[in-house]
Amino acid sequence: MRRRKGPSPGRNQRPAQALPTPATPRPKTPFEREQTTKRRGEISELAFALAAARQGFGISRPYGDSERYDIILDPPRSASADDHTRPRLIRVQVKSSAHLLFGQYHVTVQRKVNGRTVPYTLSEIDFIAAYIIPEDSWFIIPLAHILGQTSLLFRPKKSRRPCPYADYREAWPRLREPDGLEFA
């Protein structure tokens, strides 16, 4: 048997030479970064702020992540409104979904308390804005209409079966005149 010339693999080599050098990870593209739920949520909040601004709303964001709402809306004054009355500020929680689950988009409308899922209350938020990303559709839902629920299912636009939340699709006027909802 012939003996190989040179050092044998793994012997008498420094540890850095014995292991293959890992390729340095390349930075993620903006599209790849968007795939995390946190990033997708941030982008959805920005998209909601832009859409609401186009509808004439004033936009504010809370400082930090401690509040239950993502955006505060200041409704535009109507021409018939008294100059002394200001509409109430509206607290909106923005949610989004990008994937179909059994033919429907699933949106969770809940928060966690000590590891348990808890539905939002009227003392925390006023509206849920659910963004269906592939369809570029907004569902503007008063929390009082879905109180106690922790998840919502939305059918695609092209579905033949009716969506239970079809009345809330692109329902921006509900934010201007919240149809007699009592706010906490």
Residue 53's domain is classified under what CATH number?
3.40.1350.10
Encode burial over 131-161: b for 16+ CB neighbours within 10 A, e otherwise: bbbeeeebbbbbbeebeeeeebebbeeeeee
- Domains in the chain, number: 1
Give yes or no for residue 155 having a pLDDT over 80. yes
Q: Is residue 3 domain-resident?
A: no
User: What phi, psi does 37 have (nearest 5°)?
Assistant: -65, -35
Backbone angles phi, psi at 30, to 5 degrees: -55, -35
Nearest to 128 by CA among 140, 110, 145: 140
| 146 domain-assigned | yes
pLDDT at 50: 95
- Residue 123 lies inside a defined structural domain of this protein: yes
**1 domain residue, yes or no:** no
Is residue 18 predicted with pLDDT exceeding 60? no
Average pLDDT over residues 64-69: 84
Residue 4: inside a domain = no
Task: Identify whether the C-beta of residue 152 lies closer than 8 Å to the C-beta of residue 63.
Answer: no
For residue 99, pLDDT over 70 is answered with: yes
User: Is the residue at 156 inside a domain?
Assistant: yes
Domain that holds residue 60: 35-78+87-176
Asked if the structure places residue 109 within a domain, the reply is yes
What number is the average pLDDT over the span 20-46? 72
Cβ pair 102, 44 in contact under 8 A: no
Answer yes or no: is 6 within a domain: no
> What is the pLDDT at residue 86?
58
pLDDT at residue 169 tops 80:
yes
φ, ψ for residue 28, nearest 5 deg: -75, 150
Return the closest-CA partner of residue 150 out of 116, 122, 92, 108: 108
Query: Which residue matches tokens 């909106």?
Result: 92
